[in-house]
Chains A and B, each alone.
Chain A
Amino acid sequence: MWFLCVFYHRLLDFRKPEVEALAELFGEEIAENESLQWRLPENHHNDTPFHFVQLSSEEIARNIAKRSILVKGMYELWGEGTCYEELQDSIQSYPDSRKLPFLTSGSTFRISVETFGKALTFEEQKDRIQSLTYIPFEGRVNLKNPDHNFFLMEMIESEENNGLQPILQRRIFFGREVGFADRKLLPTFQLKSRTYLGPTAMDAEMAFLMANQAKATLGKLVYDPFVGTGSILVSAAQFGAMTMGADIDIRVVRDGRGPDCNVWSNFKQYGLPTPVALLRMDNNLPPWRSGLKEIFDAIICDPPYGVRAGGRKSGGRKILRGTVDPYTVPDDKRADHIPSTGAYSLVECVHDLLHLAARMLVMKGRLVFFFPVLRDETGGEVKFPEHPCFKLVAVSEQILSSRYSRVLLTMVKVEPYSEEIEEAARLMHLEFRENHLRWLEDGNIHSSVFKPIDSSQIHTDPKTFKDPKPKYRGKYV
C-alpha cells in the first residue's frame, strides 16, 4: 500500500536512501535489482518534503518512521487537493471501510495543522480544522495522548527561495499518522555534550544516518577501520550492534585525554556497551590471520581524505620515497619505539578499504563510507570507487563548501571474496608501494580544495557566473 512519507527538510539527498535501507532492515521484500517504489505528488519536484512510498504493511511503515532520522512522519493519505473543495471531494471518496474504524465513538483523536513554506496563525489553523466537519468524527478530542493522530498539511506555492526551486501549485494533504520519527536522539547525542572529541568527530545526525545505511542492529558486528574518537560506532551501538574499531594513532584509541575522557567513556556516557575491540593497526598492512573472512556485518567509516585530516601508513616519508633504507631498531629500544608513518593517499586508502570490505564482510554485508568530490569539476559524471564484489546502492551528497562535497556511498557485497580478487589486491598493493610518490600526487584533494581561485574566474562578472549546482543543500538546509 502507498503511504505519504513526509520528510524533514534537511540533507535532501539522504532521505530516500535512509527509508530504503530501513525498509530492508524491517523485512520489506524487495526483489533483486529492484528498489522501493516512490511517487511524487502532482506538480512537486524531487526536493519536496512530500513523497509517496509503497510498503507492504503499516507495521513496516511505522518501524521505518520510528527508527529514521529524516522521516517526520508516515501517513495513510485520506485525501489531497489543490484547494479545500478538492480536498473535501477527495476525502469523501476515500472508502469508508478505511476511515470509519478510526472515527469510532470510543476512540480519542487529535488534528494537527502543518504548513510548508508559510506559518499560519492560530485562528487560521482553527478555521482549517473546523472546515473538516464533513468527516464524521465520533470520538473525543485528546490533545495529549490520542489514539489516532490526524494531520492536515498544506504546501503553499512560492517563488524561488534560498536557491530552492519554486513551488508551482498549492497542495493540501489530509492523513492519519502511522508512525513518526524520534529525533530526541539528536539532542542527547549532540557532539557538544560528548566528552571526548577529535577534529573530525562525526556529527550525531550524520552518524545515525550512516548506521541506518549500514542496517546496524542487535546481534550485528560493525567495524570502523578509522575509528578515531568512536563517533560513528556510538550510533551503531545505540541501535544495538556490537562494535569494533581500529586506528593508526595509538594516542586516540588508548589514551584519549585521560581515564574519563576517551573512546570508552564516549560509550559509557550514554549507557551503551563499549566496543568489543579497539586496536591500533595500519589498514595498509592489516594483521588479519590468513583464512579469516566474512566476519563483519557492516563496515562504516569516514576515511581520512586529506582535507581536514590526512591518512597515515607505516613507513617514514623518506623510506616510502626510497631515499633511505628502513633503519633497524636496536633491540634495547624496541619496546618503546614509535614507528614512523608516512602520508597515505586517498586512492590507496580507498583501495585498501574496498579490499578489506570484500574480504571481511559477510555476503549482503554493507560498506558505508564518505568519499570526497570536487565540485568545480563540472560536466563529466563523478567516478566513484568500484569493486567486483560490490554493488553501489545509495549515493548521498552533502555539500561542504563551494569547492567540494562529501558523498556517502552505500555498497552491498553481492559477490564472494575469491583468490583472484585477493591476488589482484596484492599486485595493486605492490604497485602503490613502488610508486608511492606518483600515487600521492594523483587524487590529492587538499590542494584542489585550498588552491587560490583561478584568475580567469575572477574576471567573470559575478552576476553572470552561475553555480552549476544549487547551494542550498549545504548552506541553507
Chain B
Amino acid sequence: MRLIVHNMLSCNIRGVVNKFPLRIEPEKVIVKEVDFNPDFLKHMIAKIDWKALVDGARSMGYPELPDHPPTTLESDESFLRKFHHSLLELNLEEGSLVCPETGRKFSVNKGIPNMLLHEDEV
C-alpha cells in the first residue's frame, strides 16, 4: 500500500467521528520505483492531506518531507522528488492501519489493505 492510498482512506465504522488519518503500524516496508511525472504530482498536491502524508512517511521511516509544502512548485525539483518518493514509492507490504478513535486494526497483507468491516461495525 502506497501513501497515496493511505491519504484517501479512513475508518468507516458506523458512528466513528475521528476517523482520519489511520495510524500506520509497519512490519515490512519496501520501495518500488515509479516513473517520475511532475505534472501528475503538481495536480495531486492540491488533493492531498499534507499532514497525513508527512506523518505516514515518517512512520514508514522517511522523515524528509517538510511540515508544509513549498508555495512554488515549478522550480523545486528536489522537493517534487521527495514528494514523489513518499506518495508513490514507499510501500507498506505488511502491517496495519489503526483507527485513531477505536483502535480497530485494518490489516495490510501482501500490500493490500483490507478495509472491509465486520458485521457489527456496519
Give residues in A with beta carbon < 8 Å to B.
218-219, 221, 242, 244, 248, 250, 253-255, 273-274, 276-282, 285-292, 294-295, 314-316, 319, 326-329, 334-335, 337, 339-340
Q: List 13 A-B contacts (CB under 8 A).
A: A219-B39, A248-B116, A254-B109, A273-B34, A274-B32, A276-B88, A287-B11, A289-B8, A290-B10, A329-B119, A335-B105, A339-B118, A339-B119
Q: Which interface class (under 10, 10 to 19, 20 to 34, 35 or more) fits B?
A: 35 or more
Contact of B12 with A328 in the complex, beta carbons under 8 Å = no
List the B residue with the shortest CB-CB distance to A294.
B47
Give residues in B with beta carbon < 8 Å to A.
1-2, 4-5, 7-12, 19-21, 32, 34-35, 37, 39-40, 43-44, 47, 49, 88, 105, 107, 109-120, 122
Given contacts A254-B109, A289-B8, A314-B119, 17 further A-B contacts (CB under 8 A): A219-B40, A250-B114, A276-B34, A277-B2, A280-B113, A281-B116, A282-B117, A287-B11, A287-B12, A289-B21, A289-B49, A295-B8, A314-B122, A319-B119, A326-B119, A329-B120, A335-B107
- Report A-chain residues with C-beta under 8 Å of the C-beta of B8: 288-289, 292, 295
Give the distance in Å from the alpha carbon of A335 to the alpha carbon of B116 in the complex: 12
Contact of A279 with B118 in the complex, beta carbons under 8 Å = no
- Report A-chain residues with C-beta under 8 Å of the C-beta of B9: 279, 287-289
- Report A-chain residues with C-beta under 8 Å of the C-beta of B19: 289-290
The distance from the CB of A195 to the nearest CB of chain B, in whole angstroms, is 17
Contact of A277 with B4 in the complex, beta carbons under 8 Å = yes
Contact of B122 (CB < 8 Å), options: A242, A254, A280, A285: A285
Give the distance in Å from the alpha carbon of A242 to the alpha carbon of B89 in the complex: 13
Give the distance in Å from the alpha carbon of A337 to the alpha carbon of B104 in the complex: 13
The distance from the CB of B70 to the nearest CB of chain A, in whole angstroms, is 21
List the A residue with the shortest CB-CB distance to B104.
A334
Contact of B112 with A273 in the complex, beta carbons under 8 Å = no
The distance from the CB of B118 to the nearest CB of chain A, in whole angstroms, is 5
Contact of A254 with B110 in the complex, beta carbons under 8 Å = yes
Give the distance in Å from the alpha carbon of A316 to the alpha carbon of B117 in the complex: 12
Contact of A289 with B40 in the complex, beta carbons under 8 Å = no
The distance from the CB of A465 to the nearest CB of chain B, in whole angstroms, is 48
Known: A219-B40, A285-B12, A327-B120. A280 touches B5 (CB 8 A): no
Interface of chain A: mostly helix, strand, loop or mixed: loop
Give the distance in Å from the alpha carbon of A285 to the alpha carbon of B4 in the complex: 20
- Report A-chain residues with C-beta under 8 Å of the C-beta of B43: 219
List the A residue with the shortest CB-CB distance to B39.
A219
Contact of B116 (CB < 8 Å), options: A219, A278, A282, A329: A282
Give the distance in Å from the alpha carbon of A287 to the alpha carbon of B106 in the complex: 11
- Report A-chain residues with C-beta under 8 Å of the C-beta of B12: 285-287
Known: A278-B111, A279-B5, A285-B12. A314 touches B116 (CB 8 A): yes
- Report B-chain residues with C-beta under 8 Å of the C-beta of A274: 32
Contact of B110 with A339 in the complex, beta carbons under 8 Å = no
Contact of B2 with A276 in the complex, beta carbons under 8 Å = yes
The distance from the CB of B115 to the nearest CB of chain A, in whole angstroms, is 4
The distance from the CB of B39 to the nearest CB of chain A, in whole angstroms, is 5
Quick one: which of B19, B107, B114 has the most chain A CB within 10 A? B114
Contact of A280 (CB < 8 Å), options: B2, B105, B116: B116
